[in-house]
Amino acid sequence: MSGILRLAGAATTAGVVAAALVLPAVGGSGAAVVAGTDALNLRPAALEEPPLPEKTTVYDAEGHQIAQFYAQDRKVVPLARIAEVMRTAIVAIEDDRFYEHGAIDIEGTARALVTNLTSGGISQGGSSITQQYVKQVLLNSADSEEEKNATLEASYSRKLRELRHAMAVEQKYTKDEILEKYLNIAYFGAGANGVEAAARRFFGVSAADLDLAQAATLAGAVQDPNTTSPDRGKEARELLLRRRNVVLDRMAGLGRITRAQADAAKDRKLGYKGVKQPNGCQESRYPYFCEYVRHELLANLDFGGTRRQREQTFSLGGLKIRTTLDPEAQQAAEAAIKKHVRASDRALAAEALVEPGTGKIKAMAASRPFGGSARDDEISYNAVADKAHGGLIGFQPGSTFKTFTLITALKQGMKIDDGITAGAGYTAPGYSTFKNCAGRNVGDPSWTVTNDEGSPGFKTLETGTWGSVNTFFMALQERVGLCQTVETAKSLGIKRADGAKLREFETFTLGINESDPVTVATAYAAIAARGTYCPPMAITSVTGRDGQTTDYRPRCERALDPQVADATAYILSGVFTHGTMSGVGGIGRPAAGKTGTTDGYASAWFAGFTPDLAGAVSIGDPRGSQRYKLTGVTIGGRYYGSVQGASVPGPIWKDTMTAALRGVAPTRFTPVDMERFGGCAEDCAPSRRDPDQPDPGDATTEPRADDATQESPADDATDEQPADEAADVAEE
């Protein structure tokens, strides 16, 4: 009879169900019944089947998984990758005539209806696997609690709605296709959705490798997964064990397995392993890079017009994201930071490595673990990136910004040996000495910038940079223009870490704008790439669940004249041999860079590059760098009276680069065009015979011990502006 019913089609199914629904009440109490086939409207109704929520997986540049995200732990697999015994077990216990009946099991449904009518309510199911699949689709599609409750309500109208959808599903798919869909959508408990996730969570194996006892356990779990969820404790596991044995008995009773096989499987323990499935950046091995990738996707309109849509795409879309992360470079950065800074230190070190010519972020590391436990010295924000990528306000980069003034001078035609006589202090001659890019006066004649150490005297672009002389760079910025210096910095991607507009004050060259290592490293990478600026890039491709891949390529542009970049690299390379890093030394290959120490030692930096790799290291106290200075501190087990750019950041950078570039053939910088930049033009050193001028060798024969910068008090130049000028600045 069952075979005939399978062939009878929708009309026969409707008739039989209609007949079943108008069965007279049995027993004294009776029950309300649905009468009239017109009201039943038993015609197939198409079921909208949104894609199943799946895990999004993030990979490094070599294809190794580094993170995964999911709202539902699920991996969709084809039926061929699900063990035969699993298919047999689920059919045996849930719908043993699945391959014989149509949209519903007529015999099972009639039997259930009679029982329900007798009891005066819904007390027995009778749903086929197809109907269960429909119910799961509707439940997954519900956007509100009200819709979910409607999907779960115990009513005949709900059952009829599911039946109409089931009829359409049976017409659309083969039985094997329906079974595959059901096994991939079903919830098994312990947070596992779909049989593949359940097999891995419960037993640490794939669905293809499930044995009889394991398959029976999962088949038994779907009936009431919340009650039997093995992660809920001993009682739940005992219930699941009893349910497993029911499945085994049912399989034996149907002749699908022998009684001996069933008994042997029943003798086994439950075997639940509870294999942890990491979810999110906190559980990633590379949490800071992971956070950068996550924020990149959430800002990308390719993945949805609204943030909510993008969040759904990211957590539900089953994406495969290939990134730029280089495991060897990452390991080098982590090891270097760990060598010099401890997680328990008050100071926080962070480093980013960027590839010149592409902008690819190769590594992001920090001295503290990522997370929400202060007791475990964790931080819950991205210490290596800006606010747009999960960071906060960053740290002031200090004298690393002097490089942008140096570049501006070279752009305007100054030569390497051109220079300025720098005094012990610098005071702007007037309010109009410095103008921001809006043309407003921002000079501050009431404030004097000084050098903590070093002799005043005539400084060339070269010697002034090597010694990182504050007063020299203030005078140089006065000559080349504040706005011009700001524009140079912007062309290299410089922006504030907090997303606000750059502060265009006279102390801009001294690095008063809080920045992040990714931004600074990318700017220096542009110099290494001979003036080609490439925005920081973390994602190289995204593959959707449909197998379609979107590739992302560097978006580079010419920011500097290549010869200007070459001259800049030439001067900055001397920082290792004649300047503030001479005590630390180089890395055994062509390299250039700049130390940075802020006013009062609030933070310290080093930014540098080779032709192959650029990096920036920052260190400061995350409790508030202006309040908690890097003076009288112990870092990495070593006491520092004051922390400068060459004290901690410089050695971290050196150790990182040495390890990250090990095995990479050294690349030389392009030689500087000495015909264009060699010697001096109109700003040559004064003659030694002039007794009124300091010796040009002063402060260059011995490198400075530090390059501490000065800025307006309280890090706010508006405090030092006359009332009318302060108002102008505030308007910006």
Mean pLDDT score, 441-452: 91
Of residues 243 and 41, the one with the higher pLDDT is 243
Better pLDDT: 122 or 291: 291
459 within 8 A of 699, measured Cβ to Cβ = yes
**Backbone torsions φ then ψ of 412, nearest 5 degrees:** -85, 5
Strand partners, 634: 639
Q: Span 464-487, mean pLDDT?
A: 96
Asked whether the predicted pLDDT for residue 588 surpasses 90, the reply is yes
Give the C-alpha separation, 204 to 312, whole Å: 28
Q: What is the pLDDT of residue 455?
A: 67
Task: Give yes or no for residue 724 having a pLDDT over 70.
Answer: no
Beta strands in 64-174 (DSSP E): 65-69
Percentage with pLDDT > 70 across the chain: 84
For residues 248 and 262, the answer to whether their CB atoms sit within 8 Å is: yes
Question: pLDDT tens, 357-415?
Answer: 999 999 999 999 998 888 888 899 999 999 999 999 999 999 999 999 999 999 999 99
Q: What is the DSSP string of 448-463?
A: EEE-SSS--EEEEHHH
Give the pLDDT band (50/70/90) at residue 117. Answer: low
Q: What's the mean pLDDT in 655-665?
A: 96
- Is 578 part of any domain? no
Tell me what the mean pLDDT of segment 201-226 comes to: 97
Nearest to 220 by CA among 255, 250, 254: 250
Which of residues 18 and 524 earns the better pLDDT score?
524
- Asked whether 58 and 67 are in contact (CB, 8 A), the reply is yes
The yes-or-no verdict on residue 540 having pLDDT over 90 is yes
- pLDDT category, 309, cuts 50, 70, 90? confident
**What mean pLDDT do residues 265-277 have?**
95
- Residue for token pair 């149907």: 254
Per-residue confidence (pLDDT) for residue 712, from 0 to 100: 36
pLDDT score recorded for residue 144: 72
Alpha helices in 348-469 (DSSP H): 402-411, 461-467
Place of tokens 């929400």: 372
The answer to whether the CB of 330 falls within 8 A of the CB of 362 is: yes
Q: Sort residue 460 into left (φ over 0), alpha (ψ -120 to 50) or beta.
A: beta
16-45 pLDDT, tens digit each: 444 444 433 333 333 333 333 344 557 889
- At 71, the pLDDT band (50, 70, 90 cuts) reads confident
Q: Is residue 701 included in any domain, yes or no?
A: yes
- Indicate whether 145 pLDDT > 90: no
pLDDT band per the 50, 70, 90 thresholds, residue 277: confident
pLDDT per position as a tens digit, 245-256: 999 999 999 999
Give the pLDDT of residue 599.
Answer: 83
- What is the number of domains present in the chain? 1
- Looking at residue 118, its pLDDT comes to 56
Residue 422, pLDDT > 50, answer: yes
Flag whether 682 is in a domain: yes
In 10 A of CB 730, how many CB atoms? 9
Tell me the pLDDT of the chain averaged across its residues.
86
Q: Determine which helix (DSSP H) or strand (DSSP E) holds 323, and give its type and residue range.
A: strand 320-323
The Cα 352–Cα 615 span in angstroms is 6
User: Is 483 part of a structural domain of the chain?
Assistant: yes
Query: Rounded to an integer, what distance in angstroms lies between the CA atom of residue 647 and that of residue 700?
Result: 20
Residues ≥6 apart with Cβ < 8 Å to 615: 333, 351, 352, 353, 354, 517, 521, 524, 607, 608, 609, 653, 656, 657
pLDDT at 180 over 80: yes
Place of tokens 């689920």: 90
pLDDT at 716 exceeding the cut of 50: no
pLDDT at 694: 42
User: Whole domain around residue 710: which residue ranges?
Assistant: 398-513+671-732
Compute, in degrees rounded to 10, the torsion defined by CA atoms 450, 451, 452, 454: -150
Q: Are the CB atoms for 696 and 686 separated by under 8 Å?
A: yes
Question: What pLDDT score was predicted for residue 314?
Answer: 82
Assess if residue 473 is contained within a domain: yes
Has residue 622 got a pLDDT over 80? yes
The tokens describing 403, both together, are: 């490089």
Q: What percent of the chain has pLDDT over 90?
A: 72
First to last CA, the chain: 84
As a whole number, mean pLDDT of residues 475-495 equals 98
pLDDT in the model for residue 8:
34
57 part of a folded domain: no
Overall average pLDDT of the 408-434 stretch: 96
Nearest alpha carbon to residue 26 among 115, 109, 110: 115
Helix ranges, 255-326 (H)? 259-266, 287-298, 307-316
Closest CA to 606 of 660, 669, 648: 648
**Whole-angstrom distance, CA of residue 395 vs CA of residue 390:** 15
* Residue 699 forms part of a structural domain: yes
d(CA 614, CA 488): 19
pLDDT at 315: 79
- Specify if 716 maps to a domain: yes
- CB count in 10 Å sphere of residue 491: 18
557 has a pLDDT exceeding 80: yes
pLDDT for 300 equals: 86
**Per-residue model confidence (pLDDT) at position 124:** 37
In this structure, of 19-28, 55-64, 216-225, 437-446, the range with the lowest mean pLDDT score is: 19-28
